[in-house]
Amino acid sequence: MSGKTYYITTPIYYVNDVPHIGHAYTTLACDVMARFMRLDGYDVHFLTGTDEHGQKVEKAAAAAGMAPQAFTDKVSQAFRDLIPKMGYSPDNFIRTTEPRHYRACQALWEKLVAAGDLYLGKYAGWYSVRDETYFAESETEVGPDGKRRAISTGADVEWVEEASYFFRLSAWQDRLLAFYEQNPRFIAPESRRNEVISFVKGGLQDLSVSRTTFKWGVPVPNDPAHIMYVWLDALTNYITETGYPDPSAPNAKYWPADLHMVGKDIVRFHAVYWPAFLMAAGVAPPKRVFAHGWWTIEGQKMSKSLGNVVAPAALVDTYGLDQTRYFLLREVPFGNDGDFQRRAIVQRMDSDLANTYGNLCQRVLSMINKNCAAAVPVAGPLQAADSALLDRAAALLPQVRTLIGDQAFNEALITIWDVIGDANRYVDAQAPWALGKTDPARRDTVLWVLAEAIRRITLLVQPFMPTATAKILDQLAVPAQARSFAAMDTALASGTALPAPEGVFPRFVDPEAPAKPARAAKKA
């Protein structure tokens, strides 16, 4: 381990519903980042968890006939169950109902009081329970049914008047704009950065940060009639995990976070409120907030009423774990909205995985098994075509490292698959099956070059498809300690015994498709 740290977080997921494809997508992106950085020598801390306070949870628990804590225990488990199902590798799962989180929230509150950034007043305005968000009059509209809703989300809003503590957000406008200017990578992608800067330039109002009309939340220090606004509470989870406010805590080394991964609907909370809270309390803000897009399903917005909400577990059960992981990050430029289409995932499985990557591995390893005594072949002098393929494979790591650092997951996969395409074309051009008859030594060199290219490619695909790539590396007899990027230049050793090859990416067989009729036997 190099001593370089990398702290990455998902948003903590709200426990008023079960996990869907949007939750799976965010955590998957974080998992790929975490796995990549571990392979690249970083001391990684990857955090996910659940946001369990607020009026919405209190109401949902009441509707279910349960106490809030029992309700959150049950629904939080659904998010924990998704971790092994999707092959995620978090270092911890945090819940905002943990005692350590109460301590961190109250410590942050007291810092804001000491800084003079909190004051007691009265809130009167529109509030969405569903979004746990305050809206200005101009951000709402009255629908045909006479109900007032938030324009941006469509959620019903209600008029609220109550005593409240306020955070002096209005005092942070210029300081936030200066911070964005000095840290151009803080908000991504560019469209979200422009959106946030425009919002801040439009003027910031002081933010209500406590409630008195319900009780399910973190009590305000020295004023238990108030509980903290759920977003101040929720955002604090990221420093709770580092042991805040104890600078000597074991995890304190990970702050500031390197990346908060969020959906585009909550970028304002992470890129405006959160850095302002932290800087007011004398805490460094995170280094980067990336807000990705949303998924629709076959061209329609996901909704319970349409019955089209996609459960991640169902995707894995139908298409396979690595296939699902690959599709979600390959299909759409990360940051854009995407549309999940069944025919698209099947096409990716059959074309990209079975025909392109899987077929390359299968035919090369099968030829080695048959012609080279089931061992890594001996490489003779390299020709220009050999060096060209090996050079392209060797150039992948710095290229992919840059793309992953920018969260350009689909571009990273395109770049890797371009080299897989080169390897397939090299097989066809060199025709090792024919060389066996005319020049066996040259055949062995070609097969070694191919095996070595597959090894380099597969090391880089590991974060995306850890199970499938482990099988491929097993078939290349690459030891566990030689699967990090530090071992990228440790070439395959000629003579190493290889196991019998097995296919890794089968073509998709639709379990609901009607069976084809059996062919009639030919007459003798």
The predicted model scores a pTM of 0.91
What is the model's pLDDT at position 514? 46
Contact 372, 437 (CB under 8 A): no
Higher pLDDT, 243 or 127: 243
Tokens for 165, please give them: 């503590």
Tokens for 171, please give them: 């005092």
Average pLDDT over residues 334-351: 86
Higher pLDDT, 520 or 337: 337
Average pLDDT over residues 299-314: 70
How far apart CA 508 and CA 14 sit, in angstroms, is: 34
What pLDDT digit, counting tens, does each position of 29-42 carry? 999 999 999 999 99
Residue 522 pLDDT grade (very low, low, confident, very high; cuts 50, 70, 90): very low
Higher pLDDT, 23 or 50: 50
What the chain holds in terms of domains, given with CATH numbers, is 5-293 (3.40.50.620), 342-487 (1.10.730.10)
Does position 17 have pLDDT exceeding 80, yes or no?
no
Q: Which residue has the tokens 């005593």?
A: 163
DSSP string, 33-89: HHHHHHHTT-EEEEEEEEE--SHHHHHHHHHTTS-HHHHHHHHHHHHHHHHHHHT--
194: number of Cβ within 10 Å = 11
What is the model's pLDDT at position 55? 86
Percentage of the chain beyond pLDDT 70 is 95
What is the model's pLDDT at position 293? 83
What pLDDT digit, counting tens, does each position of 450-478 carry? 999 999 999 999 999 999 999 999 999 99
How far apart CA 7 and CA 9 sit, in angstroms, is: 7
Does position 286 have pLDDT exceeding 80, yes or no?
yes
What is the model's pLDDT at position 114? 97
Does position 513 have pLDDT exceeding 60, yes or no?
no
Average pLDDT over residues 372-381: 96
What is the model's pLDDT at position 515? 47
Q: Give the residue among 234, 239, 236, 338 at the shortest CA–CA distance from 24.
A: 338
Average pLDDT over residues 162-173: 95
Tokens for 351, please give them: 């074309």
What is the model's pLDDT at position 261? 97
| Average pLDDT of the residues of the chain | 92
In the sheet that 338-340 helps form, which strands lie side by side, from edge to edge? Answer: 300-301, 295-297, 338-340
How far apart CA 28 and CA 83 sit, in angstroms, is: 10
Higher pLDDT, 2 or 242: 242
Residue 303 pLDDT grade (very low, low, confident, very high; cuts 50, 70, 90): low
What is the model's pLDDT at position 312? 87
What is the model's pLDDT at position 167? 97
Contacts of 173 (CB under 8 A, 6+ apart): 200, 201, 203, 204
How far apart CA 325 and CA 327 sit, in angstroms, is: 6
In the sheet that 158-167 helps form, which strands lie side by side, from edge to edge? Answer: 133-135, 118-128, 158-167, 207-208
Query: What is the 3-state secondary structure of 261-278?
Result: EEEHHHHHHHHHHHHHHH
Tokens for 490, please give them: 């440790």
How far apart CA 514 and CA 522 sit, in angstroms, is: 24
What is the model's pLDDT at position 2? 58
Residue 51 pLDDT grade (very low, low, confident, very high; cuts 50, 70, 90): very high
What pLDDT digit, counting tens, does each position of 177-222 carry? 999 999 999 999 999 999 999 999 999 999 999 999 889 999 999 9
What pLDDT digit, counting tens, does each position of 91-102 carry? 999 999 999 999
Burial class (CB in 10 A: 0-12, 13-18, 19+), 369: middle
What is the model's pLDDT at position 339? 78
How far apart CA 523 and CA 138 sit, in angstroms, is: 80
480: number of Cβ within 10 Å = 9
Q: Which residue has the tokens 């406008």?
A: 173
Does position 394 have pLDDT exceeding 90, yes or no?
yes
Secondary structure element (H or E) that encloses residue 223, with its range: strand 223-228
Does position 306 have pLDDT exceeding 70, yes or no?
no
Strand duo 338-340 + 295-297: pairing: parallel
Average pLDDT over residues 122-138: 84
How far apart CA 213 and CA 207 sit, in angstroms, is: 17
Q: For residues 142, 143, 148 and 151, what is the CA-based torsion angle, rounded to 10 degrees?
A: -90
Give strand ranges (E) for 229-370: 259-263, 289-292, 295-297, 300-301, 338-340
Q: Give the residue among 104, 90, 105, 81 at the shortest CA–CA distance from 44.
A: 90
Does position 512 have pLDDT exceeding 70, yes or no?
no
